[in-house]
Amino acid sequence: MIGVMLELRSYAKINLALSVGPAVSDPPERAGFHPIASWFAAVDLADVITLERSVGGSRFEVVWADGRAVDWPLERDLFVRAHAVLESVVGRELPTRARVVKRIPAGGGLGGGSSNAAAGLRGIAALHGLDIDDAAMRRLAASIGSDVGFFLDLERGLERAPRAAVVTGFGETVERVDAAWERGSAVTLLAPTFGCSTVEVYRAFDATGTKRLREADVRALAAGPGIDPSTLFNDLAGAAESVEPRLRGLRERVETMTGERAHVSGSGSTLFTFSDADLSSLAMEGVVVTRCEFIGDALRGVGS
């Protein structure tokens, strides 16, 4: 029905733990890809997506919260790709007017594009009344990107954030886990002015030699009684800092200011810390400092 509008929140994630295995050569379609084991958690930093059925074709607008246009072609945007994938599957046009207002930094390891894609798959399907079963929807998510499956929490309503999960394989296996924090538990995100190229980070990771996939370690952390920041790890952190030395400098300054460890999310460049120290002075360097809350069921407490 024309005139129906949906407004969705598309949440960011952080990798509380991330282990990366060596690149595989088989199967051929996965050659060069790296298996992972990661503990993902959503935080309440979110993009806002507005959807409406339209007449005469689809129109997309992707902008930052301050009104600036994004600096990548629309055809490369993962939300727009999600729309195209759905049209391909159903074999017809799905005329949609969409506006994506972005607050999640790009190229920061927070999964903003993947989150937009997952919201797009579900939102556009709902808007047009598409009958796509869960298994098919998950396959579509995997075809768009390895992180999209985490955000596609089909057991939750459109308005809710994805639950925490252990993600394995090439991102296609997502096992939801009990939240390890109480409501109101917070984390500080630090997004610098520079990003980290995922391709370059993985290339640097490969250059360090063969790595062992530590899936058991990730599962143990996710199953623990709470979050101990000193036990969290990211196998890509060293590679990200070698690709972008400024990231190492920022991490060291944050650790000096807080007296606690700072962690790289994904392939960078966003850092996160559980310290509640005042880091607002970093804004003078262009670092966007955002205090976020974890989103999840209140089951266990941070540091308990």
C-alpha span between 130 and 15 (Å, rounded): 32
Grouping H, G, I as helix, E, B as strand and the rest as coil, residue 275 is coil
Catalytic residues: 13, 147
Q: C-alpha distances in angstroms, 82 versus 69, 110, 116, 287? A: 20, 18, 9, 31
Tell me the residue type at 304: S
CB 237 within 8 A of CB 56: no
In total, the chain counts a number of residues equal to 304
Residues 265, 195, 9: CA angle, nearest 5 degrees: 60
Going across the sheet that includes 288-293, the strands are 263-264, 271-273, 186-191, 288-293
Q: Give the gyration radius of the chain's Cα atoms.
A: 19
**Which residues face 264 on adjacent strands?**
271
Q: C-alpha distances in angstroms, 43 versus 134, 161, 291, 293? A: 24, 8, 10, 6
C-alpha span between 136 and 141 (Å, rounded): 9
How many separate helices (H) and strands (E) can be counted in the chain?
Answer: 8, 10
Q: Which two tokens stand for residue 157?
A: 């309503």
Burial class of 284 by CB neighbour count within 10 A (0 to 12, 13 to 18, 19+): exposed
C-alpha span between 159 and 219 (Å, rounded): 28
Q: Which two tokens stand for residue 260?
A: 């606690």
